Amino acid sequence: MLLLTACLALGCRRVDEPVPVVRTAPPRTEPAAPVERPALSGKTIVVPDFGRVATDTSPSVVTVISRVPGRGTQGEQKILRGVGSGMLVSALGQVLTNAHVISDASKVQVELSTHELLEARVIHADPLLDLALLEVRGAPGTLRPVEFSDRTPTPGEWVMAVGQPFGLGHTVTVGVISGLHRDHDDLGRPPGLDPDGVWSFIQTDASINIGNSGGPLVDADGTVVGIATAVRSDGQGLAFAIPAPMARHFLEEVWTHGRVRHARLGIGAENAPSGSLPGRGAAVRVTKVDDNGPGLKAGLSEGDFILAINDQAVNRVSDVAYLTQLHGVGAQLTIRRKRGDLPADNVLLISAPMP
C-alpha cells in the first residue's frame, strides 16, 4: 500500500531463459514445530513456532517502492513515493506483488531483506486479479523464492503476515483465518479494487496496514496461503488476502503466455434472492446466455441455478467468476445446475478466452 491517504481502504496503494517453476509445499502431515505452553487450567496449548516461521520467511519478502506522479499540498506537481510489499517467486529475481502497489508508477525499485536497493521493471500487471509480476535488475544469485500452499486454509488456523506497514521495514503480525470466499462487497467496495475483478478473498484478523499489500500471508509451515491485499477501513481485524491458488495461476499464465488470459462462460448471472431455491440459503441464477458462447453450447439456459463448478459449491456470482478464471482458458468444467422442478443435472462446459 502506498503511503497515500487515498489508499486507506487497501492493504497498500498504492525469452530464452528457462520458465520458472512455482514452488509448492508438500502436503502437511502434522503441525510444524509446535510450541507447548501450559495453560492456567492445567491443559496444554499448542501454538506454532512463529519465531522460526519469521526467520525462514523474511529473506523471501521484499519492499516495493514506486514513484508516482502527483500533486503536493499546494497543488504543485511532484513525484510521490509509495511503499508496498512483495515476495520473491523465482531465484531469477522475480517478485509478485499487488497490481495496485505499482499502478501509475513511473519508476519501481525493490529493496531486498539485505537492504540492497535494485531497479525493477513490470513484466505484467492485471487489475482484474490485482496481481503484478516484477523483475529485478542485477539480482544476486542467492535469492530464495517462497513456497505456495496447494491446500485451502481452514477458518481458525494460525497465519502470519510479513510486510512493510507504513514503511517500517520487515514486520510480522499473527492472527487466524477468519473466513473464506469474500468478495468486493464484503470489503466495503474499496475504490482501489476493480468491482468487476475476480475476487474470492481470504479474511484474516492478522494486522495488515498501509504498506503490507503484496506481502505474504503464510501458514504455520511458512508456506504462502495468500497475498495481503486490503483492509476494511470501517472495522477492526478485517483484513483480506488473495488466495495462493490464484497467485499460482497468475504466475503460470504470465510465465507461459506473457499475460493472463481471461476465461469466460458467456453468461450473465445474479445472486438470487433468499428462498429462490428451496433448501439453499444462497444461489446463483443465470440471467442471460450469450449467442454462440460456451454456456449456450453446453446447454445452459436463462433461469438455471448454478450449484457447483467441478464439485466446488457456488453460492455467489463471485464464486462462479473465481472458479472459472482459476481453472483457466480451455479448461473442461463440469457445472452442476438445477432447472425448474427438474433434479440437479451436470453440464459439461469448456471455458473460452475473452474477446
pLDDT higher than threshold 60 for residue 28: no
Q: How confident is the model at residue 8 (pLDDT cuts 50, 70, 90)?
A: very low
Lookup: cell for 19 = 520458465
Q: Are residues 227 and 290 in the same domain?
A: no
96 and 245 inside one domain? yes
End residue of a domain, out of 259, 275, 290:
259
Active site (annotated) includes residue 213 = yes
128 plus 252 within the same structural domain: yes
**pLDDT score of 21:** 52
pLDDT category of residue 6 using cuts at 50, 70 and 90:
very low
Q: Are residues 103 and 242 in the same domain?
A: yes
* The pLDDT value given to residue 9: 42
Domain that holds residue 268: 263-353
Q: Which of 209, 237, 259 is the last residue of a domain?
A: 259
Q: Answer for the pair 137, 121: CB distance below 8 angstroms, yes or no.
A: yes
Residues 273 and 323 in one domain: yes
What's the CATH number where 307 sits?
A: 2.30.42.10
Q: For 105-121, write each residue's pLDDT tens digit.
A: 999 999 999 999 999 99
- Among candidate residues 243, 259, 275, the one where a domain is terminated: 259
Q: Are the CB atoms for 1 and 12 separated by under 8 Å?
A: yes
Q: Grade residue 10 by pLDDT with cuts at 50, 70 and 90.
A: very low
41: pLDDT confidence band, cut at 50, 70 and 90? low
For residue 194, pLDDT beyond 80: yes
How confident is the model over 41-67, as a mean pLDDT?
Answer: 88
Is residue 323 located within the same domain as residue 212?
no
pLDDT tens-digit readout, 58-105: 999 999 999 988 877 777 777 888 999 999 999 989 999 999 999 999
Same domain (yes/no): 110, 171: yes
Same domain, residue pair 309 and 178:
no
pTM of the model: 0.86
Q: Using an 8 Å Cβ cutoff, are 307 and 337 in contact? A: yes
According to the model, what pLDDT value does residue 76 have?
78
Which is the catalytic residue, given 90, 103, 178, 213?
213
CA gap 207, 221 in Å, rounded: 19
Residue of 66, 85, 130, 183 with catalytic role = 130
Whichever domain contains 170, its CATH number is 2.40.10.120
* Domain co-membership, 228 together with 348: no
Spatial CB neighbours of 61, under 8 Å, sequence gap ≥ 6: 85, 86, 87, 88, 113, 162, 163, 170, 215, 216
Q: Region 194-214: what's the mean pLDDT?
A: 94
Same domain, 141 and 40: yes
Q: Say which residue, 354 or 80, is predicted with more confidence.
A: 80
Query: What would the pLDDT profile of 308-342 be if each residue is shown by its tens digit?
Result: 999 999 999 999 999 999 999 999 999 999 998 88
State whether 105 and 4 are in the same domain.
yes
Catalytic one among 85, 90, 100, 113? 100
Q: What is the mean pLDDT of the chain?
A: 87
Catalytic annotation present for 276: no
Verify whether residue 100 is a known catalytic residue.
yes
Does residue 132 surpass a pLDDT of 90? yes
Identify which has the larger pLDDT, 248 or 26: 248
The total number of structural domains in the chain stands at 2
**pLDDT score recorded for residue 29:** 43
Same domain (yes/no): 138, 272: no
Three-state secondary-structure class, residue 38: strand
